[in-house]
Structure 1
Amino acid sequence: MSGIDLDRYGVWVAIAAMAAVTFLIRAGGFWLMEHVPLTPRLRRMLEVLPGAVVVATVLPIVVRGGLASGIAIAGAVLVMALRRNDLLAVFCGLAIVAALRAVL
């Protein structure tokens, strides 16, 4: 049999391929941005993009999670606004959702 022995090396080949694709995607982004003029409008879009990604990730969880998840997210946002500590906000959100799910 010729070629790569997938039983023996398949996992490593898959990991190497995923690493290569990840590197090429990241490097491609830097390469692409060298050729795109950074206008004020594009700069504003890139500044708000992380927040939009967070909202797009969290909103379906809140919708599916119900009232307890919504209150927990609001509590975590409040803790983050007051304390500016990511880890504390995550722990508070988890504590709130656990307590509400135990009660509700």
Structure 2
Amino acid sequence: MSLDPATLAAILAMATATLATRLAGAFLVRRMTLSPRLERALNTVPPAVLMAVVAPTALATGLAETTACALTAIAALRLPMLAAAGLGVATVAVLRAVGL
């Protein structure tokens, strides 16, 4: 298996941009005092992003994917994002394995 230099460059550029964004966000948040209202607003961002990612899948695929997306959305209300996403992945894997 070979890796195209342009593909490698794109992967490295995306990784650098992602890391820079995360570090800048962490740096800025440490230097700011967040009001309770702003903190609540920022806490709604991860579930909103998760829904933006899974909604097209829920609407454009089969029953297994739609069910897993619905379960992920419900789980995201109570669980951390990683746990909710993991639950969705596990659900779609199980449902596909049983033939849904």
Shorter-chain TM band: 0.5 to 0.7
- What is the count of residue pairs matched by the alignment? 86
Q: 1:76 to 1:25 in 2, by over 3 A?
A: closer
Give the direction of change, closer, same or farther, for the CA distance of 1:76–1:40 in structure 2 (3 Å limit). closer
- Flag the 1:31–1:62 CA change in 2: closer, same or farther, 3 A: same
Distance 1:74 1:18 in 2: 30
Alpha-carbon contact 1:75-1:96 (below 8 Å) kept: no
Q: Bigger relative contact order, structure 1 or 2, given CA contacts below 8 A and separation 6+?
A: 2
Partner of residue 4, structure 1: none
Over the residues paired in the alignment, what is the CA RMSD in angstroms?
Answer: 3.5
Asked whether 1:63 is paired with 2:62, we answer no
Note if contact 2:51-2:73 (Cα within 8 Å) is conserved in structure 1: no
Gapped regions of structure 2 (runs ≥ 5): none
- Give the equivalent residue in structure 1 for 2:43: 47
1:44 deviation in Å?
0.3
Question: In structure 1, how many angstroms separate the alpha carbons of the residues matched to 2:13 and 2:72?
Answer: 38
- Unmatched 5+ residue regions in structure 1? 1-9
Matched, 1:93 2:89: no
> Which letter does structure 1 place at the counterpart of 2:37?
R
Deviates more, 1:22-31 or 1:48-57: 22-31
CA contact (8 A) 1:62 1:70 kept: yes
Radius of gyration: which is bigger?
A: 1
Tell me the TM-score normalized by structure 2: 0.56
